[in-house]
Structure 1
Amino acid sequence: MAFEDIKAEIGLLLSRMQNAPEDAHELQMLLVEKINELKAYGLPVPEDLQNLEDSLDAELRARPQA
């Protein structure tokens, strides 16, 4: 998959996160998959995306388990 395709998919995920924050955990998992795709292709992971993933991870860990 081309870098531009992965970037477009990440953009869609970010839009979904804004529109449906209740699905944050699922969307975070999808974001991690896309970041891993970038790494698998030897492509750079933009620092802002890595920071976002780290922030989401910390936020989700801080939430009480239902």
Structure 2
Amino acid sequence: MKTLDIFALILVIIGAVNWGLIGFFRFDLVAALFGEMSTFSRIVYALVGIAGLYSISFLGKNREVREEK
């Protein structure tokens, strides 16, 4: 896996855990760590969103690998 793929997956996992905490416990981990809509928390949210969009490309990569075999 490329470094960018791994970084994107880590950010997507962070986002998923954060949304899970919000859904189950109404606890926003990013806001708790970096402040409610502070500059840094907004950067984290933006990076997680971009990583999610980038991760859509993994769907096509997985099909390409299967077709080559």
For the criterion TM > 0.5, the same-fold answer is no
With the length of structure 1 as denominator, give the TM-score of the two structures: 0.39
The structure whose RCO (Cα within 8 Å, separation 6+) is larger is 2
Structure with higher Rg: it is: 2
Could you state the TM-score of these two structures normalised by the residue count of structure 2? 0.38
